[in-house]
Amino acid sequence: GENVEQHPSTLSVQEGDSAVIKCTYSDSASNYFPWYKQELGKRPQLIIDIRSNVGEKKDQRIAVTLNKTAKHFSLHITETQPEDSAVYFCAADSGAGSYQLTFGKGTKLSVIP
Amino acid sequence: EAQVTQNPRYLITVTGKKLTVTCSQNMNHEYMSWYRQDPGLGLRQIYYSMNVEVTDKGDVPEGYKVSRKEKRNFPLILESPSPNQTSLYFCASKRTGLNQQFFGPGTRLTVL
């Protein structure tokens, strides 16, 4: 089955700096890659996603890049703010019309004011 | 309001006492899924359902059962809970053909 590795497990940045979280996946059939943000005590919330026919997607301060050849994708947050502090999860589907998502183990991002 | 609900939100129980965690969605989604979240392990899928009366195992199904008799409900059943099932549980749903999964608020279960 699919295996998703996520790095780093913790990340601290100064407010205003950029943060990058990286994930690799194993199943070349995967074609959907979402990123979820989970604040303390809350449910995961989708913040951005990308499909395999796209190399990059941006939404204001958040961007995701995908390299299908290397089987890795990354989340980029620019101009970080204290409210960006949370745990971020990447995920990959199992391809071939599967709806199953395999999640990375998460990255705890701390933005220091 | 479109939402996924779970009940109870918190539960403390003892080993071996059968329990059910309910999940309900009002968005007419075909797909529903259960995950457990443990520190350092992320979210792991327990069971999922593609539609009514169609269920399948995820990555960690041992010790759990599910049923999908109605489209809106997808209960998670622990016939004989054990301490290693202490976890935070999330239900999620999505519409067939679309990618985004919507998560419920979570159920924190402690098995003593």
Q: What band does A2 get if pLDDT is binned at 50, 70 and 90?
A: confident
Give the separation between CA A40 and CA B105, rounded to whole angstroms: 12
3-state SS class at A34: strand
A97, pLDDT greater than 70? no
DSSP B63: T
What the block records as the tokens of B5 is 């609900």
pLDDT at residue number B81: 97
Whether residues A100 and B45 touch (CB distance < 8 A) is answered with yes
Distance of CA A67 to the CA centre of its chain: 13
Q: What is the pLDDT of residues B43-98, one digit of tens each?
A: 999 999 999 999 999 999 999 999 999 999 999 999 999 999 999 999 999 998 88
Residues of chain A neighbouring B42 (CB-CB closer than 8 A): 6, 89, 103-106
The CA distance from B73 to B94, in Å, is: 13
What's the confidence (pLDDT) of residue A111? 97
